[in-house]
Structure 1
Amino acid sequence: MGPEGRDDGRVRGGRGLIADDQDLVRGGLAALLSLEDDIEVIAEAVRVAESRGWL
């Protein structure tokens, strides 16, 4: 909600897949996103080919 409780039209939250070949990058991004109440990481992939089943 925007000021005074009005909907400002922005999308809130979401679900996503993280694809990166670096474990540290992938894990760090997943950890940061897990701190947000309205964002859910549904999968992690090392290769793009692995992620295609989720798209």
Structure 2
Amino acid sequence: MEVRGHNQPHRILESKLNSVKRSLRIALETKAQRFPELSVSLPELSKTLFTKAF
């Protein structure tokens, strides 16, 4: 019981993070279509964001 309670905040956080990742990816892909030069920096940007997130 206590283990489940302890895991709950982590699961919520993970769920929110996945949601943010999805939104961010969609936003970045949309921008990349309009601004092709951005697509080059996309992987680097994602890496930087998630390194800072943790």
TM-score range, shorter chain: 0.3 to 0.5
State TM-score, norm by structure 1: 0.32
Higher-helix-fraction structure: 2
Higher-strand-fraction structure: 1
Kindly name which structure, 1 or 2, has the bigger radius of gyration based on alpha carbons: 2
State TM-score, norm by structure 2: 0.33
